[in-house]
Structure 1
Amino acid sequence: MTYLSRIRINPLRAQSRKLLANPRAMRSAVLHGVPGDPISERILWRLDTDNPHRPWLYALTPTKPDWSHLVENAGWPEADGEHVNIADYRPLLAKLDTGHHYAFRLTASPVQNTKTPLKRTAAQIARAETEADKPELERGRPRSLRLGHRTAAMQLTWFLDRTPKWGFRIPATEIEPQIPGIEIDDPSPEVLISGRQRLSFGHPDRNNGTRNSQVTIHTATFEGHLEIVDPQRFTATLLAGIGPSKAYGCGLLTLAPIPAT
């Protein structure tokens, strides 16, 4: 079974400010809401902060979660209204079919792999120097480096180039011509980047648990209209997530009905 949760976060509380500022802290809070061994399960989450006064946390979990700790420490435990919603994901998955259209939202970490980066991070420079200090026979083959796309144009290209393998496509925008008889030769795909962030936070060094290394992620939030072309592949995409940095709030694709016009 799979569940999609939505939790309302109170941004004025001290614990909330810590979670909102640090994806690693938020990941820990999400994992604590899942019974059993959450590390071995595929858990996706996303923080929507379009309205900074009303942020929402979304989480997709293979087992039914309990968000009492988040509501108590970072939510609105005594306020009126619905602050947590947990929905069975199976009814949505069961009705996905070729040709179905949905509005969507996704926060992802668009990246490229290259062996010749124009500008390496401090960690990548240190790794290269360590490798260079080894005897020649002990050196491994040169590895590609993962770098985040930093411009909106490259982030959008990364997304559009990969939609076929994710089981969907982005339809062209349907625009009525402003002047009769004028046709639009190349309508744009119906997707936009509604937000971009550079996230930087500390993470325990794998080789030295007492020292933190710096993690930097460039994210983009995509919103628009999609059409399913391969239901089986699309279902796998929803459950597995899209792109890297899933532990830090990237990869969760959520769907909504297309608003009636």
Structure 2
Amino acid sequence: MWVSKLVLNPASKAARRDLANPYEMHRTLSKAVSEALKEGGERLLWRLEPTRGLEPPVVLVQTLTKPDWSVLVEGYAEVFPPKPFEPALRPGQRLRFRLRANPAKRLAATGKRVALKTPAEKVAWLERRLLEGGFRLLEGEQGPLVRILQDAFLEARRGKGEGGEGRLVQVQAVLFEGRLEVVDPGKAQATLKRGIGPGKALGLGLLSLAP
């Protein structure tokens, strides 16, 4: 895997367009691994990182193949060289994590996916997804060691409608930070590669780990 950091230029018209519509952002980032995507050997994950005040927007990108960022239009972003990312995970290893995801449930009656409402429901969803993916959310004296840093609805335009703007899509995006433990290294590696939950094209699902 490879991890890239892009510091977007707010003065760039293309960057502003992508920041206004996650689907456009995904389309732009996909150009850096277009051949691998065509061959079916790629999984592009990305996340718009939280910033403060007047700090420029930062996008973290994870790919299975080395990206070619020369495809970006001039002035779009400052690109830090991609770094190889192959963590040697082991059972019992404890790590910090960050994840922006879409905690949701599917209604049995209609099959429709709906957003979870309470923080407890969202944390329980995270616990289940991590356990399915080879990790375990660590517990402290006050409960699970996780914080919800952001909780908002993303808006994006998908496809092209009669007016040329496309259909408006709204998806809940929750930014989690906390501590976890590796239970099954094989499953954990697979989870890192495929991401967690729906909404990958909206910048959701990228699980980042740190010591």
Fold shared, TM-score > 0.5 on shorter chain: yes
From 147, 169, 185, give the equivalent of 1:215: 169
Residues 240 and 203 (structure 1 numbering): CA distance in 2 closer, same or farther, change over 3 Å?
same
Deviation of 1:210 after TM superposition, in Å, equals 6.4
CA 1:247–1:6 in structure 2 vs 1: closer, same or farther (change >3 Å)? Answer: same
Whether 2:195 is the aligned partner of 1:241: answer: yes
* Contact 2:136–2:183 (Cα < 8 Å) also in 1: yes
More strand by share: 2
Larger radius of gyration: 1
TM-score by structure 1 length?
A: 0.72
1:47 aligns with 2:54: no
Aligned to 1:232: 186
Q: Deviation per CA, 1:146-189: give whole Å up to 9, x if none.
A: 1122443322221123321111112223xxxxxxxxxxxx5321
Q: Contact between 2:105 and 2:114, CA under 8 Å: does it hold in 1?
A: yes
Unaligned 5+ runs, structure 2: none
* Mapping for residues 1-261 of structure 1, pairs under 5 Å: 2-38=1-37, 40=40, 41-51=42-52, 53-70=55-72, 72-76=74-78, 83-90=79-86, 92=87, 95-116=88-109, 143-173=110-140, 186-204=141-159, 212-257=166-211
CA distance in 2, matches of 1:108, 1:96: 22
Q: Tell me what 1:125 maps to.
A: none
TM-score calculated relative to the size of structure 2: 0.88
Query: Distance in 2 between the 1:211 and 1:17 partners?
Result: 16
8 Å contact kept, 2:129–2:196? no
Change (3 A) 1:203 1:153: same
Question: How far apart are residue 227 of structure 1 and its match?
Answer: 0.8
* Structure 1, gaps ≥5 residues long: 77-82, 117-142, 174-185
Q: Specify the SS of the correspondent of 1:34.
A: helix
How big is each residue's C-alpha offset from its partner over 1:40-96, in whole Å with a ceiling of 9 and x where there is no partner?
3221111113335232211111211012344733214xxxxxx41311123x2xx11
Contact 1:111–1:146 (8 Å) recurs in 2: yes
CA distance in 2, matches of 1:233, 1:108: 19
Letter in 2 for 1:64: K
**After TM superposition, what 4+ stretches of structure 1 lie above 6 angstroms from structure 2?**
208-211
